[in-house]
């Protein structure tokens, strides 16, 4: 391309600032959404990885224990008797403190003398003073905290912090601050509370026990050590933990990314439309260029370059917007990850260069690929026909059958991808994109059909009505693209809204059927690592309260399976409120008593486990195979759960504790009074001996998050989600205080409401994405209408000159726009319904493994139609204002 | 490119036919045309609207391909080239002047002119110098840096002529270049075009409706219903060219 041709590219963009702006804006919005989601995902993942790396340190392996942790003797044996110097004992768990804004902190109990080869918190790099060292070593209940975290909460050395762990509420003293020489290691320390191992053992009720033993060992050494471990312990590579966490959120993050890409895809329609319009507008100029010797390839390159330039500019703006938006998104993503998966402290958006480069390339790529068709269109037309104005529209109509057939083909391919490939969520999303593309290819033909109908109907109203419908058909190359863009955006809104409404209805229904007890008694902080437990004697106290007719007990734990990794285990006294999938609940209850287990639907889907299979778990009695007798519906964990009777659990694990109590009241009893009576009965009660869980990688923690609300952890009908409702404040009950964290007593309704609050928060981010998709589509319709008007300036001038009044022209514009909106809205309903069905029956099932019952939402369809028409009518406002300024004489001169 | 065509006639077309599909039927626009134009010759092409003048011009320019027949320009059988080769051929060999003097609105007057030279591979310096000379020749050097929308119709057409000549093509094709101008401006533009073409030894084929303009040419080709009317035919316009010429060889249009 010559320098002069390049100048035409640049100046063309400057001469059509509105079109360029539309193009830039659509790329910017699309890129912003993609980048913000990517940054949020990356930030959360990196923050977790940093803290995991900080906690794991240089360890190559970890010894992980059975249900009750590792006996200290194992460590002593390893280090002293066998001389393995590179070993370090760890006791860890989660805790929170008001002084730290109720943020969940990772409490790590270490042995200072064993630490140096493993972790660098206490080296010269972190600049911990000698005084702090001395205090840390000699005084009980002392902690170290990162200087950044301390500064954030206005804490200084010597301050007291009231630390709440699963069963304890204990004051500890901040004796030193960990300062990191650089930002990365500083962020690794974020959310970490370092304490002496003995203090940690007391905090988590693990005196004489360890959570794990870290090792630095060659594979051969590791093999040797593994061979000598007691039966209930295992040696695992240190990387296992980080891998498990990555897998946990993979589906969630992929879903978010796919939705963000959809916003960019909608933006691409707009770019296509804008480019096509710019080609149409410059058809004669392009014709001249072809006549004076510019080749088709050069024209193609010119138009592609134009789009790429707009894409680059939009991309750059999108990156900035994305970083800003990322600050909001990272909060939402972190919130969801904290609600559903694991605890992570993300201080801010990590502006990752790779994310920015990806965003920029996506922007340029999206713009260039969206412009490719119009560019090809301009390039392949023989020079002679470039000079003929209506050629494109003629050919668009000629291509209608082929485009429609192609569309049907794309739908079939998309459906095949959705149906044939069973496991990959990414491929399923590709299927959705291809099928959506297929539907959009059918839009021109459907638009023609709609307009035929509209001509017949509106023709009765008058000439303006007929003209409006015909204009939409005559400018099909642009109107159909605007309609397709709006249709895709609105159908995505319908699809996602119906999917979320269905999931919400399903969860609500599930909650109402499984949360059947009247009062729930849970721990203030469910610890994913040092899973706290309450004294079983509390159950008797609850049972003794007047008005309580019966109680169910629940116990949460994690057990290791060679086949499935760490398995979340729920042990219950009753399965009466479980919703079983295709099995009889009474049969299942009977068989559970005999040692069988149920698996949750996500577990069954994820691990392809069927009734009749057996699950082998490491127990305190060695490996034990449990027959699976049924699958039950559960929406609390997408990782899946294994349910067994509490008796069975106690038979194989040396653990008598419980995690929660569900109390049933007698018919007609006063709920509030009973609730209060239970509080009084349990006054100040806290857990009994707590019990360490098997490994760090507990897939489903349910502790209070940093905003003080609860997690969506409602496993098997006895949720551990806690919202502190008035009167259930830990510490507020009689007898509260000291070293004891009181249990939380709350009503069925409070628990159910809190679960739904978390549900709604989880989907807040999709609401933002839906809105952006509609905004982009709105801009698309506006662009198409403006393009139509600019191109028809002469025609409009003629109409004015021949006596059409301004209000008549306004009516014409409104009608054209309204027809486009109505067509998009009508087409979006069946597309949206199909999309929601695919999201429900394919994407959700494959991503999270749960069945959602389709909930038809007629009000959503009506709203969608209204939104489409309204968006289109609003988009007509600016073109109408332009009409008011139209100078008839100038318009007639327009060439 | 084909390279063994006739040498004596610079432009030659033999049995050229062009048909267009119109719905179910074929419409013959040009039928079995054969003629030739010498190098440096100025030929006017006249005929009623729809007689096929512009179609023939488009075929000669390689903008379109004949349904049958051959077109030679110099040693090149233009009718045998594909679209891309025709474009590249046009770039170096044909200068085009249109009725609507369409210039590229985003380029200045100078850039519009030098674009063709740049496309033909001239160096930026040479292209600029050539544009400078031609703008001087058409009297628009002082407007070199303005954009086309600031120019009058006559000025725009003069820029279009400079553009057509800038890459120094041997052939200039002009499709009613004065059709959109008033008589005086038209006369000036035509005078300039013919003078520049003759000075530079260009072969000029000019489509016109005006017998007066045709009278200025060395020779006239008349098209009627897609066929060439022989010069001996009584329908062929006979005009005394001499009476149209002024005393100093300048044009006088009636």
- Which one of A6, A289, A292, A895 would you mutate to disrupt binding with B, by most B Cβ within 10 Å of its Cβ? A292
Tell me the per-residue pLDDT of A676-704, one tens digit each, with 9 for 90 and over: 888 888 775 554 444 333 322 222 233 33
Residues 50-69 of B with CB under 8 A from A: 58, 61, 63-64
Q: Where are the alpha helices (DSSP H) in A282-295?
A: 283-291
Residue A326's H or E segment, with its range, is helix A296-340
- For residue A15, the chain B residue with the least C-alpha distance is B106
- Which architecture, in CATH terms, is B38-62+83-244? 3-Layer(aba) Sandwich (3.40)
Q: What is the pLDDT of residue B144?
A: 93
- ipTM rounded to 2 decimals: 0.73
Helices H / strands E in chain B, number of each = 8, 10
Chain B partners within 8 Å of A291 (Cβ): 61, 63, 90, 96, 98
Shortest distance, CA B232 to any CA of chain A (angstroms) = 33
Residues A41 and A99 in one domain: no
pLDDT for the residue A826: 93
Burial class (CB in 10 A: 0-12, 13-18, 19+), A208: exposed
Instruction: Indicate the pLDDT class of residue B130, thresholds 50, 70 and 90.
Output: very high
Domain membership flag for residue A429: no
Q: Which residues contact A519 (CB under 8 A, 6 or more apart)?
A: A548, A662, A663, A665, A671, A674, A675, A678, A745, A746, A747, A748
Domain boundaries of chain B, sorted by first residue: 38-62+83-244
pLDDT at position A735 is 35
Residue A735 within any structural domain of the chain = yes
Bridge partners of residue A580, in order along the sequence:
A632
Same domain for A52 and A68? Answer: no
Q: What average pLDDT does chain A have?
A: 76
- Please answer yes or no on whether B116 and A292 come within 8 Å at the CB atom: yes
- The answer, yes or no, to whether residue A828 has pLDDT greater than 80, is yes
> Has residue B243 got a pLDDT over 50?
no
Whether A630 maps to a domain, the answer reads yes
CA distance B54 to B69: 17
pTM, 2 dp: 0.64
Contact check, Cβ <8 Å, B96/A8: no
pLDDT at A784: 65
**What does the angle CA A92 – CA A96 – CA A99 come to, to the nearest 5 degrees?**
130
Same domain (yes/no): A674, A721: yes
Which pLDDT tens digit goes with each residue over A203-258?
Answer: 887 888 888 888 888 888 888 888 888 777 878 877 776 666 566 566 666 666 76
Q: How far is A397 from chain B (nearest CA, A)?
A: 14
B116 contact residues in A (CB cutoff 8 A): 292-293
Give Dmax over CA atoms of chain B in angstroms.
Answer: 56
| A216 and A130 co-located in one domain | yes
Contacts of A722 (CB under 8 A, 6+ apart): A522, A523, A524, A526, A702, A704, A710, A744, A746, A754
> Taking 70 as the threshold, does the pLDDT of residue B251 lie above it?
no
Task: Looking at the complex, report in whole angstroms how far the Cα of residue A18 sits from the nearest Cα belonging to chain B.
Answer: 16
- Cα-atom radius of gyration of chain A, to the nearest Å? 32
Q: What is the pLDDT of residues A156-189, one digit of tens each?
A: 888 888 888 766 778 899 988 887 666 556 666 7
| A889 inside domain | yes
pLDDT score recorded for residue B172: 92
The predicted pLDDT at position B110 comes to 92
Reported as type and span, the H/E element at residue A661 is strand A660-665
pLDDT of residue B183: 78
Q: Is B84 on the interface with A (CB under 8 A)?
A: yes
Highest mean pLDDT out of A4-18, A420-434, A661-675, B29-43: B29-43
Q: Tell which wins on pLDDT, B241 or A859.
A: A859
Give mean pLDDT, residues A358-376: 84
* Residue A287 with chain B: CB contacts under 8 Å: 102
pLDDT in tens, B145-198: 998 888 888 888 889 889 999 999 999 999 888 877 777 878 888 888 888 888
Element (H, E) at A164: strand A160-164
What does the pLDDT look like over A8-60, one tens digit per residue?
A: 877 877 877 877 887 788 788 888 888 887 887 777 777 767 767 777 777 88
Question: pLDDT band at B71, cuts 50/70/90?
Answer: very high
With CB atoms and an 8 Å threshold, state whether B111 touches A4. yes
E-assigned strand segments in B108-233: 171-175, 203-207, 219-224, 227-229
Q: Is the CB of residue A398 less than 8 Å away from at least one CB of chain B?
A: no
Indicate whether A559 and A679 sit together in one domain. Answer: yes
Of the candidates A845, A556, A877, A548, which has an alpha carbon nearest to the alpha carbon of residue A699? A556
Report the pLDDT value the prediction gives residue A266, as an integer from 0 to 100.
Answer: 65
Identify whether residues A148 and A89 lie together within a single domain.
yes
Q: Does B61 sit within 8 Å of A293, measured CB to CB?
A: no
Nearest CA in chain A to B85: A295
Residue A411 lies in a domain: no
The CA distances from residue A84 to A115, A216, A424, in Å, are 14, 9, 44
Are A102 and A232 contained in the same domain?
yes
Considering the domain boundaries, does residue A414 fall inside one?
no
Chain B interface, best mutation among A286, A293, A305, A895, by max B CB count within 10 A: A293
**pLDDT band at A726; cut points 50, 70, 90:** very low
Task: Measure CB to CB from residue B84 to each of A285, A296, A384 and give the nearest one.
Answer: A296
Nearest to A87 by CA among A70, A104, A101: A70
Q: Mapped to the 3 state alphabet, what secondary structure does A703-765 carry?
A: CCCCCCCCCCCCHHHCCCCCCCCCCCCCCCCCCCECCECCCEEEEHHHHHHHHHHHHHHHCHH
Q: Do A706 and A557 belong to one domain?
A: yes
Task: For residues A476 and A544, state if they share a domain.
Answer: no
* pLDDT score at A830: 92
Amino acid B254: pLDDT:
31
Q: Give chain B positions within 8 Å (CB) of A382.
A: 63-64, 83
Q: Within 10 Å of residue A226's Cβ, how many Cβ atoms?
A: 15
Shared domain check, A688 and A805: no
Confidence at A384, pLDDT banded by 50, 70, 90:
low
Residue B118 to residue A298: CA distance in whole angstroms: 13
What total number of domains does chain A contain? 4
Rounded to a whole number of angstroms, the distance between the first and last alpha carbons of chain B is: 45
Chain B residue at shortest CA distance from A286 = B104
Of A191, A217, A237, at which residue does a domain stop? A237
Band of residue A335 on the pLDDT scale cut at 50, 70, 90: low
A293:B58 CB<8 A: no
Of A601 and A485, the structure prediction assigns the larger pLDDT to: A601
Q: Which residue of B has its CA nearest to A292?
A: B91
Query: In terms of domains, do A765 and A736 share one?
Result: no
Quick one: average pLDDT of A607-630?
Answer: 89
Poorest-pLDDT segment among A170-179, A844-853, B12-21: A844-853
DSSP 8-class letter at B57: H
| Cβ atoms A210, A63 nearer than 8 A | no
Is it the case that residue B68 has pLDDT exceeding 90? Answer: yes
Pair (A27, A125) in one structural domain: no
* Domain assignment present for A424: no
Q: Please judge whether A2 and B111 are an interchain contact, meaning their C-beta atoms are less than 8 angstroms apart.
A: no
Cα–Cα distance for residue pair A596/A605, rounded to 1 Å: 19
Asked if A293 and B88 come within 8 Å (Cβ–Cβ), the reply is: yes
Task: Read off the pLDDT of each residue in A619-635 and give the average, rounded to a whole number.
Answer: 87
What mean pLDDT comes out for the span A743-771?
Answer: 74
The answer to whether the Cβ–Cβ distance between A11 and B87 falls below 8 Å is: no
Looking at residue A734, its pLDDT comes to 34
CB contacts of B124 in chain A (<8 Å) are: 3
Which residue spans within A469-581 are E strands per DSSP?
519-522, 548-561, 565-572, 580-581
**Using alpha carbons only, what angle is made at residue A115 by residues A112 and A116, rounded to the nearest 5 degrees?**
110
d(CA A374, CA A303): 8
B63: distance to nearest CA of chain A, Å?
Answer: 5
- Residue-wise pLDDT tens digits, B92-104: 899 988 777 678 8
Asked if A6 is an interface residue toward chain B (Cβ–Cβ < 8 A), one would say no
User: Is residue B11 within 8 Å of B36, Cβ to Cβ?
Assistant: yes
For residue B84, give the nearest of A12, A288, A295 by CB distance: A295
Contacts A12 to B, Cβ<8 Å: 106
The pLDDT assigned to A767 comes to 72
Closest CA to A479 of A523, A510, A447: A447
**Cβ contact A4–B102 (<8 Å):** no
Greatest mean pLDDT among A186-190, A527-531, B62-66: B62-66
Among the partner-chain residues B58, B64, B119, the one whose CB lies closest to the CB of A2 is B119
What pLDDT shows up at residue B200? 85
Predicted confidence (pLDDT) per residue in A565-615, tens digit: 888 888 888 876 677 776 666 777 788 888 899 998 888 888 889 888 999
Least Cα separation, residue B19 to chain A (angstroms): 14
Q: How near does any CA of chain A get to the CA of B89, in Å? A: 8
Quote the domain boundaries for residue A775: 444-515+752-895
């Amino acid at each position: 391309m010559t320098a002069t041709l390049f100048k035409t590219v640049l100046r063309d963009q400057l001469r059509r600032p509105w079109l360029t702006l539309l193009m830039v804006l659509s790329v910017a919005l699309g890129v912003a959404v993609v980048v913000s989601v990517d940054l949020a995902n990356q930030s959360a993942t990196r923050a977790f990885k940093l803290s995991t790396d900080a906690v794991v340190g240089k360890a190559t392996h970890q010894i992980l224990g059975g249900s009750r942790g590792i006996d200290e003797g194992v460590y002593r044996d390893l280090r002293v008797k066998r001389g393995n110097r590179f070993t370090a004992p760890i006791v860890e768990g989660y805790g929170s403190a008001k002084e730290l804004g109720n943020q969940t902190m990772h409490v790590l109990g270490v042995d200072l003398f064993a630490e140096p080869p493993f972790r660098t918190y206490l080296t010269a790099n972190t600049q911990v003073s000698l005084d702090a060292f001395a205090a840390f070593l000699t005084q009980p209940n002392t902690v170290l905290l990162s200087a950044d975290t301390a500064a954030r909460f206005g804490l200084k050395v010597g301050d007291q912090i009231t630390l709440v762990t699963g069963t304890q509420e204990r004051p500890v003293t901040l004796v030193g601050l960990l300062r990191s020489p650089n930002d990365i290691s500083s962020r690794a320390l974020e959310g970490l509370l370092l304490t002496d191992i003995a203090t940690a053992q007391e905090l988590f009720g693990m005196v004489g026990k360890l959570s794990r033993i870290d090792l630095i060992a060659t594979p051969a050494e590791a093999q040797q050590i593994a061979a000598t471990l007691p039966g209930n312990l295992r040696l695992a590579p240190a990387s296992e933990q980080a891998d498990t966490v990555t897998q946990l959120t993979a589906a969630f993050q992929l879903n978010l990314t796919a939705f963000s890409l959809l916003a960019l895809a909608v933006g691409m329609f707009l770019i296509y439309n804008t480019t096509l319009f710019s080609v149409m507008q410059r058809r004669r100029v392009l014709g001249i260029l072809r006549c004076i010797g510019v080749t088709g390839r050069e024209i193609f390159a010119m138009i592609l370059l134009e789009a790429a330039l707009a894409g680059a500019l939009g991309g750059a703006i999108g990156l900035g917007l994305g970083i800003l938006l990322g600050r909001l998104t990272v909060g939402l993503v972190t919130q969801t990850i904290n609600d559903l998966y694991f605890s992570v402290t993300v201080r801010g958006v990590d502006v990752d260069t790779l994310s920015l480069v990806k965003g920029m390339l996506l922007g340029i790529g999206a713009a260039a690929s969206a412009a490719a068709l119009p560019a090809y269109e301009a390039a392949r037309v023989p020079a002679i026909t470039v000079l003929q104005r209506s050629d494109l529209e003629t050919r668009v109509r000629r291509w209608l059958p082929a485009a429609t057939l192609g569309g049907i083909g794309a739908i079939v391919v998309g459906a095949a991808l959705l149906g044939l490939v069973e496991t990959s969520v990414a491929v399923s999303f590709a299927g959705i994109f291809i099928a959506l593309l297929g539907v959009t290819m059918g839009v021109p033909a459907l638009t023609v059909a709609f307009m035929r109908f509209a001509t017949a109907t509106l023709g009765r109203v008058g000439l303006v009505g007929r003209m409006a419908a015909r204009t939409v058909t005559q400018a099909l190359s642009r109107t159909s693209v605007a309609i397709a863009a709006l249709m895709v955006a609105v159908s995505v809104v319908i699809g996602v809204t119906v999917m979320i409404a269905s999931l919400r209805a399903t969860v609500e229904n599930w909650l109402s059927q499984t949360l059947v007890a009247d009062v729930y008694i849970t721990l203030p902080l469910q610890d994913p690592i040092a899973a706290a437990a309450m004294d079983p004697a509390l159950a008797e106290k609850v049972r003794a309260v007047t008005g309580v007719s019966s109680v169910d007990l629940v116990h949460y734990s994690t057990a290791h399976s060679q086949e499935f990794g760490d398995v979340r285990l729920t042990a219950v006294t009753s399965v009466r409120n479980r919703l079983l999938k295709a099995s009889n609940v009474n049969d299942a209850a009977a068989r559970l008593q005999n040692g069988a287990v149920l698996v949750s639907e996500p577990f069954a889907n994820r691990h392809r486990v069927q009734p009749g299979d057996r699950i082998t778990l490491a127990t305190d009695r060695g490996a034990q195979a449990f027959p699976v007798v049924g699958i039950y519906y559960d929406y609390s964990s997408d990782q899946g759960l294994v349910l067994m009777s509490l008796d069975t659990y106690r038979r194989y694990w040396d653990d008598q504790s419980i995690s929660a109590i569900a109390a049933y009241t007698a018919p007609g009893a006063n709920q509030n009074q009973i609730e209060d009576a239970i509080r009084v009965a349990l006054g100040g009660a806290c857990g009994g001996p707590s019990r360490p869980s098997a490994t760090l990688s507990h897939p489903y923690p349910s502790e209070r998050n940093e905003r003080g609300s609860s997690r969506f952890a409602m496993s098997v009908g006895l949720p551990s989600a806690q919202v502190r409702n008035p009167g259930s404040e830990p510490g507020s009950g009689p007898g509260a205080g000291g070293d004891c964290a009181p249990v939380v007593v709350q009503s069925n309704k409070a628990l159910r409401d809190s679960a739904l609050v978390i549900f709604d928060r989880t989907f807040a981010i999709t609401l933002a994405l839906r809105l952006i998709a509609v905004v982009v589509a709105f801009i698309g319709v506006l662009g198409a209408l403006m393009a139509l008007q600019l191109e028809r300036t002469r025609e409009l001038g003629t109409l004015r000159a021949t006596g059409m009044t301004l209000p008549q022209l306004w009516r014409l514009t409104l009608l054209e726009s309204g027809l486009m909106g109505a067509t998009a809205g009508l087409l979006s309903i069946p597309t949206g319904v199909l999309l929601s069905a695919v999201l429900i029956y394919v994407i959700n099932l494959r991503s999270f493994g749960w069945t959602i019952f389709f909930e038809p939402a007629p009000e959503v369809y009506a709203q969608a139609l209204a939104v489409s028409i309204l968006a289109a009518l609003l988009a007509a406002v600016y073109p109408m204002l332009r009409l008011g300024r139209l100078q008839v004489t100038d318009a007639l001169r327009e060439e | 490119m084909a390279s063994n065509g006739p040498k004596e006639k610079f432009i030659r077309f033999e049995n050229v036919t062009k048909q267009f599909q119109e719905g179910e039927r074929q419409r013959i626009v040009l039928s079995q045309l054969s003629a030739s134009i010498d190098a440096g010759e100025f030929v006017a092409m006249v005929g009623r609207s729809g007689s096929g003048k512009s179609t023939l011009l488009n075929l000669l320019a390689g903008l379109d391909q004949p349904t049958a027949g051959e077109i030679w320009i110099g040693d090149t059988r233009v009718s045998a080239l594909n679209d891309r080769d025709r474009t590249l051929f046009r770039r170096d060999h044909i200068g085009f002047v249109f009725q609507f003097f369409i210039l590229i609105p985003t380029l200045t007057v100078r850039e519009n002119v030098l674009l063709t030279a740049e496309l033909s591979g001239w160096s930026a310096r040479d292209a600029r110098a050539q544009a400078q000379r031609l703008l001087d020749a058409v009297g628009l050097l002082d407007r070199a840096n303005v954009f086309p929308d600031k120019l009058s119709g006559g000025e725009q057409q003069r820029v279009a002529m400079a553009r057509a000549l800038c890459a120094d093509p041997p052939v200039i094709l002009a499709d009613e270049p004065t059709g959109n101008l008033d008589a005086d401006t038209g006369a000036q533009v035509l005078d300039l075009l013919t003078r520049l073409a003759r000075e530079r030894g260009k072969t000029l084929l000019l489509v016109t409706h005006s017998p007066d303009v045709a009278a200025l040419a060395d020779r006239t080709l008349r098209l009627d219903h897609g066929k060439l009317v022989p010069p001996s035919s009584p329908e062929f316009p006979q005009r005394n060219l001499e009476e149209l010429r002024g005393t100093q060889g300048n044009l006088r249009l009636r």
